[in-house]
Chains A and B, each alone.
Chain A
Amino acid sequence: DIQMTQSPSSLFASVGDRVTITCRASQSLGSYLNWYQQKPGKAPKLLIYALSTLQSGVPSRFSGSGSGTDFTLTISSLQPEDFATYYCQQSYSTLYTFGQGTKLEIK
């Protein structure tokens, strides 16, 4: 199975900050990398798919990049509604796997 490793596990930041979350895969994924946002008590929501394509309705302050085994999710200017947990997920193999999550908290 493809292992996904996210860092950091938790992150403290302030409104207006630029934030980057990284995700590393155990093998090359091409563009088969997706990002999800989950708020407490809610189901996850798709943010970015195919490495860098924003899901409909997702603000442009979110962006995804990377290649091969190393990927990043960037939030250019944090808003209060962005404090949540973020997960990367590979769809290169149908034995899908997620990163362990990054909890983004208010400083």
Chain B
Amino acid sequence: EVQLVESGGGFVQSGGSLRLSCVASGFTFSNYEMNWIRQAPGRGLEWVSYISTSGSIMYYADSVKGRFTISRDNAKNSLYLQMNSLRADDTAVYYCARGSPFDPWGQGTLVTVSS
């Protein structure tokens, strides 16, 4: 079964840092581009970041550029999101998703940033 499982969410103060992880199983992780997508409470979906299969190409939404860094470890079937200088408006459930179109999605991990 193809599966993505996120972890690393939690409560952090404004200005703090957090690192999210996403572990993949059931498919050849190194063959797929990956993405992070977030959803603030009661709001819609916002794409956050993309990484190529090798990890050499990354893209970011303007809202996180310069603060967030996406990376991957193909040997560990893992995707990461390093989040620095966190702000209250970064509070959201963060999903990892495979490929484009996005399928499947993980179950999400909640990040709460207190101001």
Contact = CB atoms under 8 A, between A and B. Distances in A.
Q: Decide whether A and B are members of one complex.
A: yes
Interface residues of A, number: 22
Main secondary structure of the interface of B (DSSP, over half): loop
B68 interface: no
Given A36-B102, A96-B100, A44 B45 contact: yes
Contacts of A43: 95, 104-108
A94 B44 contact: no
A40 B50 CA distance: 25
B11 interface: no
Interface in B12-71: 35, 44-47, 50, 59, 61-62
Contacts of B46: 98
Contacts of A94: 50, 59, 100
Contacts of A36: 45, 102
Nearest to A35: B101
Nearest to B62: A1
Given A91-B100, A96-B50, A96-B100, A101 B106 contact: no
Which of the listed residues B59, B62, B103 has the most CB atoms from chain A within 10 Å of its own CB? B103
Interface of A: 1, 34, 36, 38, 43-46, 49-50, 55, 87, 89, 91, 94-101
16 contacts: A36-B45, A43-B95, A43-B104, A43-B105, A44-B105, A45-B104, A49-B103, A87-B44, A91-B101, A94-B59, A94-B100, A95-B61, A96-B35, A98-B45, A100-B44, A101-B45
Interface of B: 35, 44-47, 50, 59, 61-62, 95, 100-108
